[in-house]
Amino acid sequence: MDQVLKNKFKSTYKQLNLEQKKAVDAIDGPVMVIAGPGTGKTHLLTMRIANILDETDTPPEAILALTFTESAVSSMRKSLTEIIGTPAYHVKITTFHSFANDIIKNYPDDFPDIIGSTNITDVDQVKIIRQIIDNTDFKKLKPFGSWYFYLPSIIKAIGELKRQGILPEEFLKIIQKEEKAFLAIKDLYHESGAHKGKMKGKYIDIQKNIDRNKELAIVYRDYQSILRKSRFYDYSDMIMQVMLVLESNNDLLLTLQEQYLYILVDEHQDTNSAQNRILELLANYHKNPNLFIVGDEKQAIFRFQGASLENFLYFKNLYKNVKLIALKHNYRSTQAILNAAHDLNSNTNKLIAKAGHPELPIKFYTFSTPEAEQYFLAKNIKELIEKGKSASQIAVLYRENREVIPIARIFEKVGIPFVIESDQDVLDDEDIKKLLIILKAVQKFGSDPELIELLYVDIFDIPPLDVYKLANLYKKRINPYDAIRSPEIMKEAGIETIEKLQDLSNKLSIWKNGAHNKNAIQAFEDIVRDSGFLMYILANPSAAEKIVKVHALFDQIKSLIKNHKNYTLENFFEYLDVLQEHNVSIRTMGLGQIPGRVRLMTAHKSKGLEFEYVYIINAVNGHWGSRRHHEPIKLPRQIYSLLNKINEQLASTSDEDERNLFYVALTRAKKEVLVTYSQRDQDNRDQLPSQFVQEIKTKYIERIDMTQQGIEFDKHKDIEFAPVLSVASTVKEKEFLNQLFLEHGLSVTALNNYLKCPWKYFYTSLIRIPESPNKHLIFGSAIHSALKSYFDRFMGGKDLKKEYLIQRFAESLAQKPIQEQEYREALNKGKIALSGYYDNYHNSWRNNILTEFNINGIQIDKDITINGKIDKMEFLSPSNHVNVVDYKTGKPKSRNDIEGYTKNSKGDYKRQLVFYNLLLNNYQNSKFKMISGEIDFVEPDDKGKYRKELFEIEPKEITELEKQIKVVAKEILHLSFWDKKCDDPDCYYCKLRRMMK
């Protein structure tokens, strides 16, 4: 840590309270911190990491910090960067799932059940479970007349068992043990009377559930067997496989234990048993491991994802000399908010407010109808914004995703800018439905109903009267497809938009031809681009959100093609039909904060966030608290227990989770909380307020009867039919685009894109529209993956053969979204290229290397960070001198071409090496000195020769590039490129810009 950062660390340390200092100073041994909301736990974690690096000789790479969401990872890294600078990017801050994924990628030989397999799709998962049900004589899980009734519950239960680290054979033993204990109950049966010998009613449901679980054990066993045979794995397998391998592979476990000297875990109360077991294994090298756990039992809200409060308490029992530190000062909320929250969890210590905000009571509004509630919400928030309050400091929290739909609709009507941050079902989006109508019309080319439905889609701007006239031609026995191809027929029918319809007819023919000759993802991209759909969503006020949803659909198709190389649009609609039949959704992660927009999200999603003003809506009993939970298959309680004996007093119940969730929602607020509820629901049925609101003491809550608000709403009921007020598209907002630039930084690929065409940078590197990777990119990606895998093992001292390299390439290529014919061509091409590459060079390869070395967050000016990934660094003598190697596929280029001295070259390859030199010069006080850079062509030239080009980078080149980066960054931040276009008259990205309204 340099002196400037040391001074910042010392200054920040002085501001910590006594308990925080204890936690930061407790470097060695197990430490457990009880950190309630607003107690500064992220700050605490980052300060402790900084202190470890300052007080010990521990390298950043030896610190592992685990958390639960990517946003939490980003937040922690950003906070750490502010304290220690670029070393923060080399601390292993990651989610549990990403950590497991990295272990599997880095040690592929230890995970044969996953490497070479593909992640199963929802539909394939459904098909396997259906197959098992069809082929097995179940009595409980296969009810007559509805064989697949339990299918969703089976999938959910299997996922839960995996999250708890329970294998099929282990689950069967648990069931058998439970059944044995059940049958030993002395009063199980009636001993006399009319029902003598029959089981008592209070035990019948227990018996049925045991029987269901016995059959579930069979399904689970067969499901895992089919997964292995079919070379599939599911999402939950990754954590469980890592757990199982670490339990059985002492060499790998020891490697990881030696790699990570300090382990920190955030939000530990939300861990499940499999995650906890991995932690325990990593920490068990020492009797008193350097394990730092932060959690809060009052915020345990993810029991539905396998989390159990017992997991949090387990480590307290495991390490008897654990240091226990409770944080009691809250730096976020008012005391009124904290006291109200404490009323929900009165058995815990009160938090003391230190933020200094004016004290305001929680406001609880009662309305007569949901419409009045929604109208008030929009009106109240609009008034707040008009008073100068920041829209992004206002949050609307709801219990379930579906509640956002009417809120979003009324916000659009009154012109409130907003962003939906909660997960959403892509298929529920109105614009995605329009895209599916277009895709369906292509797939069902020749079918009249699909064509007529397509013509009503507003993207094509066909007047409804013209569509009606076309549809009416059936009376004259004229097919609509024939009509839109014939100007004469359309003119005779009195249709006005003849040219538009002819153009659409031509496009439909082209798309249909593409759907036959291309895979689904290429056909999808063509239609999204050429139909005008892409420009349509880019003009939408929620453009960024829409792009995320299109990406989700795009990614879904890509994952399907990985498993089925010749996947078509027809197959995709069959896939959607199965999803619909079994109520399976395609979910997308909501966007994060967008400057100047009100934030809408579920209470679950709000965990870890804070806002000045919080609205908790629909606070109805049975919705917030007293929820009716019906689990068709109830798993045994034993699967959640890490303790030898279950502590029933602490066992989490669903209502306790609901209470904790409301507690979390309340404590997101800094200044003010407004809770709303309506006396009647949409079906005019009476509702009661949430029990949690009723439990808050009167002195902390102001109850406001707004039932007369219904009268005011009636006066403004026409708002339901009002047009949407114009709000600028997110992709045109300077603040949002600047935020994206600051978040992404600038890579050399992004820089080269900008220099080629600013609009290529804008669409592909900044807002990132969905684009299908072409076969050359896919091939290059598989080659890079194979070389990384090979050299990772090679530098560990393994004497690997050519076959290992080729096998890794084949496995990587098999995971790519590529057509069968292209796959076979690429496979053959890659085998030939890598075989020759190996024969030419393997005797000269160094094993003192680093592969895919990431350098992130290098700040070269106030608002400019650059980042990159170096394919390979070869260490020279002296030890900090390196040669940087960048692999290239495709036909080898001449040296002049690489440097940009030929007519058609802009010198992108050479610029890449100079860029890497700039990165390394600014990385950890020039920890590595780049002596040379090498472009390494993995494919031979036309004569079968393999070539490399070595360059020594001049200081002048680095200075000039740094100046160029600053000019480019300034143009991006000020949107100076907005009215520019590149030199290519046929540039696709410039055309997109011209169509942007």
Annotated binding residue 37: yes
Residue 58 to residue 47: CA distance in whole angstroms: 15
Q: State yes or no: 41 annotated in a binding site.
A: yes
The answer to the question of whether 67 is labelled as a binding residue is: no
725, pLDDT greater than 70:
no
Q: What number of H helices and E strands is found in the chain?
A: 39, 24
Question: Is 40 among the annotated ligand-binding positions?
Answer: yes
What does the block give as tokens for 939?
């494919």
The whole-angstrom separation of Cα 588 and Cα 165 is 26
User: 143: pLDDT confidence band, cut at 50, 70 and 90?
Assistant: very high
pLDDT tens-digit series, residues 360-380:
999 999 999 999 999 999 999
Known binding residue 707? Answer is no
Domains of the chain, with CATH numbers?
A: 3-112+240-327 (3.40.50.300), 120-230 (no CATH), 338-423+594-721 (3.40.50.300), 427-588 (1.10.486.10), 738-973 (3.90.320.10)
Q: Note the pLDDT tens digit of each residue in 91-119.
A: 999 999 999 999 998 888 899 888 778 88
**DSSP secondary-structure letter at 696?**
S
Q: Which long-range contacts (CB under 8 A, 24 or more apart) does 454-459 make?
A: 455/501, 455/504, 458/434, 459/434, 459/531, 459/532, 459/533, 459/536
pLDDT at 120: 87
Residue type, 886: D
- Count CB atoms within 10 A of the CB of residue 896: 11
CA nearest neighbour of 751 among 740, 737, 765: 765
Residue-by-residue DSSP string for 166-234: --HHHHHHHHHHHHHHHHT-TTSB--SSTTTTSBPHHHHHHHHHHHHHHHHHHHHHHHHHHHHHHTEE-
The answer to whether 603 is a known ligand-binding residue is no
Token pair listed for 29: 């041994």
Region 219-240: what's the mean pLDDT?
A: 92
Give the separation between CA 981 and CA 758, rounded to whole angstroms: 7
Q: Chain-wide mean pLDDT for the chain? A: 89
* pLDDT tens digits along 781-833: 999 999 999 998 888 777 789 999 999 999 999 888 888 889 999 999 999 99
Pull the structure tokens for residue 896: 């002049």
Give the three-class secondary structure for 330: strand
Lowest mean pLDDT among 66-75, 243-252, 294-303, 949-958: 294-303
pLDDT of residue 904: 85
Closest by CA position to 262, among listed 79, 52, 82, 44: 52
Q: For residue range 861-920, list pLDDT tens digits in order.
A: 878 999 999 999 999 987 889 999 999 999 999 999 999 999 889 999 999 999 999 999
907 is in an annotated binding site: no
Q: How far is CA 707 from CA 290, 365, 378, in A?
A: 57, 9, 16
Using N-to-C axis directions, what is the helix angle for 820-841 and 802-814, rounded to 10°? 160
- Scanning 232-369, the segments in alpha helix (DSSP H) are 237-248, 250-259, 273-283, 309-318, 335-344
Place of tokens 């097919």: 479
> Could you give the C-alpha distances from 107 to 150, 619, 805, in angstroms and in order?
37, 49, 14
Phi, psi of 953 (to 5 degrees): -85, 130
Model confidence at 310, pLDDT cuts 50, 70, 90, reads: low
What is the percent of the chain with per-residue pLDDT over 90, rounded to a whole number?
59
Helix, strand or coil, per DSSP, at residue 932: strand
Output phi, psi for 940, to 5 deg. Answer: -80, 165
The predicted model gives 622-634 an average pLDDT of: 81
Type and span of the H or E element at 81: helix 70-84
Element spanning 953, H or E: none
Structure letter (DSSP) for residue 114 = T
d(CA 213, CA 236): 20
**Omega prior to 878 cis, within 30 of 0:** yes
Tell me: pLDDT of 641 over 60.
no
Inform me whether the pLDDT recorded for 320 exceeds 90.
Answer: no
Average pLDDT in the 146-166 region?
A: 92
User: Is 390 a residue whose pLDDT tops 70?
Assistant: yes
Using DSSP's 3-state secondary structure scheme, residue 883 falls into strand
